[in-house]
């Protein structure tokens, strides 16, 4: 199912550029968008953290910020089942994405294709709290950044930090226009050196001192070489395209996006020794790829556009396979005998097929 959706997205991204009729383009985008929305909203047991979020919803407390707990437990206490909660979150996330793509992307199906392997399959399906942050960031905050609506940005950062603490890392959005490129490249250099030094320090140091209160993540160093290579490749690609295709970097609306993207890459490099932390720290600014890459495609000549498109599609294939494999490896309590081609999509209408505890077994486990 997931590989089939990948094929559909790739075909749509290729065909989109050659369509002349804008109505046909919009119909194509809307059709694929609705498929992704219904899959996200009606899923059951999909991803790596579905069970953890389900237990959290019914009162078995895992780590989560106060805003998310208040929202989840309020809906639970008024009788909303977890499946409806997931439906509400999914519709909100996809509404934000629809708004972002419709306003900012010249190649809408390509934006959906870029969204699919990591933001959609990882952050919307599994890392739900940070997925809420990413969705709102793309749907509203990137536009507010271009319009210099700093009061809205400040308020949004405060509220979103109640759902995922990494929202606080977006505080530089409030003055990113005033930070020079040179300063950000210096910050990147410092981050790379820091990342190398942190890699050399034994993990026991962080565990014994409880640094960052991230013992679960820091107790074992695990560099994600594929993830690191992917981040470096796309940072280099976007940087080259930015300097070649954005003539006036002092006034361009894209400049603030690029600076924020550069800042996010620095965050990732600082924690490169721990794959999970590295990806989480830079996840929100990295989501700008959904808008930046289609923008640069529009500005390229035909030959360069084809090369860029092929590079993006190759990345989409690799990362989709990687993330579906993570579903299988990290979610083995869900499915046992499957691979990336046979990993099943299960909807709420097929919940009997899914071997996890039914809701009734959670009633005695709820903590009030």
pTM, entire model: 0.90
Cα 325 from chain centroid (whole Å): 17
Instruction: Write out the chain's pLDDT in tens, 368 residues.
Output: 899 999 999 999 999 988 888 899 999 999 999 999 999 999 998 888 888 898 888 876 667 899 999 999 899 999 999 999 999 999 999 999 999 999 999 999 999 999 999 999 999 999 999 999 999 999 999 999 999 999 999 999 999 999 999 999 999 999 999 999 999 999 999 999 999 998 887 666 655 555 544 545 545 556 678 888 889 999 999 999 999 998 877 767 899 999 999 999 999 999 888 878 888 999 999 999 999 999 999 999 889 999 999 999 999 999 999 888 877 776 544 555 678 888 888 899 887 765 554 444 444 444 33
Compute how many other C-beta atoms are within 10 angstroms of the C-beta atom of residue 118: 25
Whether residue 288 contacts residue 134, with contact meaning beta carbons closer than 8 Å, is answered with: no
CA atoms within 13 A on the CB side of 80: 16
Of 347, 312, 341, whose CA–CA distance to 327 is shortest? 341
Of 73, 257, 64, 289, whose CA–CA distance to 161 is shortest? 64
């Amino acid at each position: 199912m997931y590989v089939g959706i990948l094929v559909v997205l790739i075909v749509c991204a290729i065909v989109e550029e050659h369509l002349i009729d804008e109505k046909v383009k919009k119909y194509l985008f809307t059709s694929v968008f609705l498929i992704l929305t219904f899959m996200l909203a009606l899923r059951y047991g999909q991803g790596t953290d579905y069970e953890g979020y389900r237990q959290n919803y019914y009162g078995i407390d895992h780590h989560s910020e106060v805003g998310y707990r208040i929202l989840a437990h309020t809906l639970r206490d008024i009788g909303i089942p977890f499946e409806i909660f997931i439906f509400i979150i999914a519709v909100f996330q996809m509404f934000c994405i629809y708004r972002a793509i419709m306003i900012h992307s010249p190649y809408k199906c390509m934006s959906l294709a870029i969204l699919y392997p990591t933001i959609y399959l990882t952050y919307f399906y599994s890392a739900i709290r940070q997925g809420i942050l990413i969705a709102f960031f793309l749907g509203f905050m990137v536009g507010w950044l271009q319009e210099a609506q700093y009061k809205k940005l400040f308020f949004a950062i405060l509220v979103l930090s109640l759902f995922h603490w990494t929202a606080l890392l977006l505080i530089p959005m409030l003055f990113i226009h005033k930070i020079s490129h040179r300063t950000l490249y210096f910050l990147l250099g410092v981050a790379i050196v820091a990342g190398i030094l942190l890699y050399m320090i034994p993990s026991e140091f962080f565990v014994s001192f409880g640094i960052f209160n991230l013992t679960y993540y820091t107790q074992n160093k695990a560099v994600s070489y594929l993830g690191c290579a992917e981040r470096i490749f796309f940072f280099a690609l976007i940087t080259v395209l930015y300097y070649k295709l954005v003539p006036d970097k002092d006034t361009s609306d894209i400049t603030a996006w690029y600076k924020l993207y550069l800042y996010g890459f620095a965050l990732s490099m600082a924690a490169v020794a721990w794959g999970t932390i590295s990806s989480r720290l830079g996840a929100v600014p990295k989501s700008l790829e959904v808008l930046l890459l289609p923008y640069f495609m529009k500005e390229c000549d035909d030959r360069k556009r084809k090369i860029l498109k092929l590079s993006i599609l190759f990345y989409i294939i690799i990362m989709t396979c990687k993330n579906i494999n993570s579903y299988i490896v990290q979610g083995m309590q869900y499915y046992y005998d499957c691979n990336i081609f046979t990993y099943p999509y299960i909807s709420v209408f097929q919940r009997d097929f899914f071997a996890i505890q039914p809701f009734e077994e959670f009633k005695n486990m709820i903590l009030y």
